[in-house]
Amino acid sequence: MAALSTREIAHDAIRTRLAHVTLQEVMRHGFDGVTLHELASAAGVSRSTYLRYLGSKENAVLVGLSAIGEDLAERLGARPAAEDDWQALRRAMDLITETQNQDDTAALNLTKLLKSDASLGGAQWQHRRSWRDALTSVLLGRAPGRSHLATAALAAAALGCLDAATDAWTDSDGALDFDAALDEAFASLEPS
């Protein structure tokens, strides 16, 4: 893998920062409740700079989701080596719970948006594939003897548990305890 130039590193950092601000604002005000101008202003950049780095609000939301996948993989990599991989995956998912707990209403609104908007939902699915790939890579490092297919299936199962818990939480309009739903989903597939 070729090393990134300083310019590429700076570009990625700015893009990630703008996406993070966008996610916060969309969670706070709703997707349609905030304009491109307001997003740029909240990030401290001009509208043209915002568009140069992200292209659109939709893309900004999705870039933010991609960053969550990288954070999940980092969390998984930081789990103790002696910990069972399934438990390590579950504990890595605490990142999602922590993110939702920052503002349950905003997280619920964002989740509903992703479920209701076909283009965002489809793009989100593509990002979830990148999450699976990132988790698979970390898991392969934890258990080098396991086949790539078995490892990818394990990562996909963990993300399936996340999806099931997210759907149950969203369908309950946030009344269901998300962490408990995630525990239940993971327990249902606990390897024996």
Which domains, and CATH codes, for the chain? 6-188 (1.10.357.10)
Residue 1 confidence (pLDDT): 47
Residue 69 confidence (pLDDT): 84
Residue the block writes with tokens 């297919």: 149
Residue 154 confidence (pLDDT): 96
**Residues 9-12: contacts with CB within 8 Å, 24+ apart?**
11/53
pTM (2 d.p.)? 0.78
Residue the block writes with tokens 């920052």: 102
CA–CA–CA angle 58, 130, 117 (5° rounding):
30
Quick count: other Cβ atoms within 10 Å of Cβ 32? 9
| pLDDT > 70? residue 2 | no
Distance (Å, whole) CA 21 – CA 29: 12
Output the six-digit token pair for 67. 């960053």
| pLDDT > 80? residue 55 | yes
Quick count: other Cβ atoms within 10 Å of Cβ 68? 15
| pLDDT > 60? residue 185 | yes
| pLDDT > 60? residue 116 | yes
| pLDDT > 60? residue 83 | yes
Distance (Å, whole) CA 182 – CA 178: 6
Residue 138 confidence (pLDDT): 96
Residue 10 confidence (pLDDT): 86
